[in-house]
Amino acid sequence: MRSIMILNAKGGSGKSTLSTNLASYYASNGNKVLLVDYDPQHSSLDWLKERPVGRPGISAVDGSAGTVRTPRNIDYVIYDTPAAVRGKELAALIRKSQSIIIPVLPSPIDMRAATPFIREVLNNGKVSRKETRVALVANRCRETTNVYHMLEEYLKKMRKAPFISVLRETQNYNKASERGLGIFELPGYLVNRDLEQWDPIIQWLSSRRSQPIKRK
C-alpha cells in the first residue's frame, strides 16, 4: 500500500486540489483508493460528493473525526491535511506517510510562510532518515510573471527536497472540481498542457526516489 500526503501549513496552497487529482488519477488507473480528509473544511469530501455515478470509485474517510482505519485491500491512501499543522500534530501526520508533496504558491507571503514549515518537515527524524520522502511543487503559477521566477529560484534552493513540477493557474481545475472529477478525467484537448505538468509528479511518485529506504 502506498501512502501519499499533501502538506503545507499555509491555507489556500492547493492541498485539496492535489489530493483529489491524485485520488482520481490512481482510481482511473484501476487502483483502490482511500482519500483521507483531515481538513475540518472537508474540501476533498465535498468534491467526492459531486463525483458522477459510473466514474471509478474512491473511498473516503473524515480524518478530522478521529482514528483512521485503512482497509487491507487499499492500494493508495491519499491524505489531505489541514492548515496550521505544526509540532506534534505534524510529526504524527508524517509518521503516516511514505511520500509527501508540499505545494507552494507564487507569492512572497506564501514563500515566507513555507520556509520554517519546510525546514520543520525536513528536520523530522523520519524524513531525515529517508523513511518518508519529500518533494516540492510550484502551484497556481503564471510562468511569465516575476513572482513565479522568484518562486522557482526559491524552491530550487531547497536542496534536501526535489522541486519536481510547476502547475499552472487555469480554470480547468475548477471545472473538474465542481463535477467531482480530476484533471485526468477531462477531455484531452482541454488539458494536454496540464497533463504534461503532472507527468513529473506521477513519475516521481512511481520512482524509488519517492519511497522509503528499506533498512535491514
Whether 214 is in a domain gets the answer no
Which three cell numbers mark 9? 501549513
DSSP track, 27-56: HHTT--EEEEE--TT-HHHHHHHTPPTTSP
* Owning domain of residue 143: 2-209
Q: By the 8 A CB rule, do 179 and 52 touch?
A: yes
Percentage of the chain surpassing pLDDT 70?
Answer: 99
Whether 216 is in a domain gets the answer no
In total, how many domains does the chain have? Answer: 1
Average the pLDDT over 87-103 and give the result. 96
Whether 78 is in a domain gets the answer yes
Whether 81 is in a domain gets the answer yes
Q: Please report which confidence band the pLDDT of residue 28 belongs to, taking 50, 70 and 90 as the band edges.
A: very high
pLDDT tens string 140-188: 999 899 999 999 999 999 888 999 999 999 999 999 999 999 999 999 9
Q: What is residue 165's predicted lDDT score, i.e. its pLDDT?
A: 97
The dihedral of CA 63, 67, 33, 166: what is its sign?
positive
Is the pLDDT at 207 greater than 80? The verdict is yes
Q: What is residue 45's predicted lDDT score, i.e. its pLDDT?
A: 97
Query: Which of 16, 52, 49, 22 is CA-nearest to residue 34?
Result: 22
Q: How far apart are the first and last CA of the chain?
A: 20
Which three cell numbers mark 148? 513565479
Q: Please report which confidence band the pLDDT of residue 215 belongs to, taking 50, 70 and 90 as the band edges.
A: low
Whether 215 is in a domain gets the answer no
Whether 170 is in a domain gets the answer yes
pLDDT tens string 45-82: 999 999 999 999 999 999 988 778 888 899 999 999 99
Among 19-28, 56-65, 131-140, which stretch is predicted with the lowest mean pLDDT? Answer: 56-65
Q: What is residue 209's predicted lDDT score, i.e. its pLDDT?
A: 95
Q: For residue 194, what is the domain's CATH number?
A: 3.40.50.300
Average the pLDDT over 189-197 and give the result. 97
Average the pLDDT over 101-122 and give the result. 95
Is the pLDDT at 118 greater than 70? The verdict is yes
User: What residues contact 153, with CB distance under 8 A and at least 6 apart?
Assistant: none
Whether 203 is in a domain gets the answer yes
Whether 131 is in a domain gets the answer yes
Provide φ and ψ at 18, rounded to 5°.
-65, -40
